[in-house]
Amino acid sequence: MSIISAISNFLEAYDVTYRQVLVGGLVIYGTTLALYRLYFSPVSHIPGGLLSRLSMLYVRIMVTLGKLPDLCEDDYYNYGDIFLSAPDIVTISNPDDCRAVMGTYDFIKDKFYESFRLVDETIFTTIDAEFNMLGRRLIGPAFTPASLQKMEPTIMECGLLAIKRKWDKLIGENGREANVNFNTDFTLATFDIISTLVYGKKFRALEKGERTIVKWVEKYNWLAHIKAVIPSVAEFPLNLLCRPLLKNCKEFVGFTSTTVEQRREQIRQGEKVPYDLLQALIDGEELEARAKLTPSQVTAQSIELLGAAIYTTADTITWTLHYLMLYPECYRKAVDEVRSIFAPDHLIGYSEGRSRLPYIEACIYESLRICAVSGFLLPRVVPPGGATFQGYFIPAGMTIALNIAGMNHHRSLWRDSKRFMPERFIERPDLKHQVMSFSTGVRICPGRALAWVKIMTILSNLLKDYDFSLPADAQYSPDRTDTNGLPVAMPRTHSVTVGPKHPERDCILVVTKRLL
């Protein structure tokens, strides 16, 4: 008698259907798994929300809905230094613990980072320490103060000055004032800056409204976001569902590799080429180093730099201006500071802005802290031998996630942490080193100095040259407060960075030329 007929006979004898067996099996499996996760897994004694402890599904749903930043912050306030974000994701928020993890290559990046991989390995996606160090060595020289100073004219021209031209034109057309979507303008300006530095070409997205590449970057980010939730989405048959996104990435890669090839040709022809980010990468192909970048790695890296630099910087400027509008006394102080130091016709360069505008610098730190554009989880794998945090042992192979929002709101460092309070950095400048928005350790953001140049030059000059106010119908203003009496910030969402959820509604400001 075959096994199948034996089972059939057994089911018939007890009057049980296959369906009942299937449902019963699933119930037993689900219950056993739930009991294991809640009471018997090696990390079951770590605190965390019931849904997070039961299934990975909860965090995936939150990621899909763009709610991860809110979850990270709320979970820190609810559970403290260590908690479970999913049955096998232990999240840590204690700055010392996070530094211990990030200070070494032992805790490699989790497979989540594969969702960002497009054509080849990059500084960001790699888990290979040697390759990461090589990439960082190559782009490092582009981010020294001397190199950034050389790039500053481009940064000014494509960033601040392009924004000013656009706003002045709008104001001129409207009479005295104009309504601007500052998030869109900061995004296009930061795109124009970074694309000039990466492709060596000016696209003038802000001026001409030409957004092809911005859309490519947006869709590349979306694909990465979807891959983070459904890793097999780029494989058959799911790839059929996101054909337009995959086609978009192909075009993006094609355009980038052609541009890289054009630069190589210029070099071969002996033409003078600018020193920019692309050049730093191409130089890497020529290095005598044992490991050097292949052409497809240069393409992949160029795309990554574009993706890493646009929304991070634009959204940071956006949040800073938004918080200044919610806290008018801070806005007033920032404006008074810059206008008392610099003449109306002075173009504030980065280093003078950074050294002479401590309050505006403090506003930027506070915005990076209170709503980090990277305010979500950075997942790493626990190395062989396991690791102990806050008295809990975490076995090798489990994911440990660093909670940037948790560190930036940590009770031990930040008094009244939900309040936008730039003064904290004036009273205690040492706190600047505790803002974790650029991460920390061996994989700290290599582009942070460039980001600072863009943020500081754009913000300080705009505050000097324009008066900003909220439109009459603004939904988020100083008058709309929460139960603690603090102004409610506009809702945020998360794809690759944490940005405004409804920029078309919440990022409109009335701009007038400064009255002399």
The binding site for ligand HEM (CB under 6 A) comprises 123-124, 132, 136, 304-305, 308-309, 312-313, 316, 373-374, 378, 437-439, 443, 445-447, 450-451
Does residue 422 have a cis bond before it (omega within 30 degrees)?
no
Q: What is the closest distance, in whole angstroms, from the C-beta atom of residue 148 to ligand HEM in the complex?
A: 11
Closest CB to ligand HEM among residues 44, 104: 104
Dump the DSSP string for 293-339. Answer: --HHHHHHHHHHHHHHHHHHHHHHHHHHHHHHHH-HHHHHHHHHHHH
Closest CB to ligand HEM among residues 185, 470: 185
What's the burial of 344, exposed, middle or buried (CB within 10 Å: 0-12/13-18/19+)?
Answer: exposed
Q: Is 72 annotated as a binding residue?
A: no
Q: What is the closest distance, in whole angstroms, from the C-beta atom of residue 401 to ligand HEM in the complex?
A: 10
Closest CB to ligand HEM among residues 187, 313: 313
Q: Are 284 and 133 in contact (CB under 8 A)?
A: no
Closest CB to ligand HEM among residues 123, 226: 123
Q: What is the closest distance, in whole angstroms, from the C-beta atom of residue 447 to ligand HEM in the complex?
A: 2
**Tokens in use for 262?**
């054009």
Question: What is the C-alpha to C-alpha distance for residues 358 and 426, in angstroms, rounded to an integer?
Answer: 7
Q: What is the closest distance, in whole angstroms, from the C-beta atom of residue 133 to ligand HEM in the complex?
A: 9
Q: Is 259 helix (H, G, I), strand (E, B) or coil?
A: helix
Between vectors from CA 436 to CA 435 and to CA 442, what angle results, nearest 5°?
130
Closest CB to ligand HEM among residues 52, 190: 190
Q: What is the closest distance, in whole angstroms, from the C-beta atom of residue 13 to ligand HEM in the complex?
A: 58
Q: Are 490 and 476 in contact (CB under 8 A)?
A: yes
Q: What is the closest distance, in whole angstroms, from the C-beta atom of residue 373 to ligand HEM in the complex?
A: 5
Question: What is the C-alpha to C-alpha distance for residues 371 and 508, in angstroms, rounded to an integer?
Answer: 19
Q: What is the closest distance, in whole angstroms, from the C-beta atom of residue 102 to ligand HEM in the complex?
A: 8
Q: Are 389 and 94 in contact (CB under 8 A)?
A: yes
**Tokens in use for 315?**
């959204």
Q: What is the closest distance, in whole angstroms, from the C-beta atom of residue 212 to ligand HEM in the complex?
A: 20
Specify which residues 89 forms β-bridges with: 86, 399
Closest CB to ligand HEM among residues 136, 356: 136
Closest CB to ligand HEM among residues 34, 127: 127
Closest CB to ligand HEM among residues 41, 121: 121
Q: What is the closest distance, in whole angstroms, from the C-beta atom of residue 393 to ligand HEM in the complex?
A: 24
Closest CB to ligand HEM among residues 54, 407: 407
Q: What is the closest distance, in whole angstroms, from the C-beta atom of residue 422 to ligand HEM in the complex?
A: 17
DSSP state of 37: I
Q: Are 138 and 439 in contact (CB under 8 A)?
A: no
What's the burial of 151, exposed, middle or buried (CB within 10 Å: 0-12/13-18/19+)?
Answer: buried
Question: What is the C-alpha to C-alpha distance for residues 54 and 37, in angstroms, rounded to an integer?
Answer: 6
- What b/e string do you get for 401-437 counting C-beta neighbours within 10 Å, with b at 16 or more? bbbbbbbbbbeebbeebeebbbebbeeeeebeebbbb
Judging by DSSP bridges, how do beta strands 387-389 and 392-394 pair with one another? antiparallel
**Tokens in use for 248?**
């978009």
Closest CB to ligand HEM among residues 93, 437: 437
> How far is residue 322 from each of residues 179, 317, 328, 462, 468, measured CA to CA in Å?
15, 9, 10, 14, 10
Q: What is the closest distance, in whole angstroms, from the C-beta atom of residue 376 to ligand HEM in the complex?
A: 9
Q: Are 358 and 426 in contact (CB under 8 A)?
A: yes
Closest CB to ligand HEM among residues 257, 374: 374
DSSP state of 233: G
> How far is residue 220 from each of residues 118, 186, 250, 418, 514, measured CA to CA in Å?
9, 19, 10, 33, 39
Closest residue to ligand HEM, Cβ-based?
Answer: 447
Residues annotated within a binding site for heme: 445
Feature table: binding site = 445
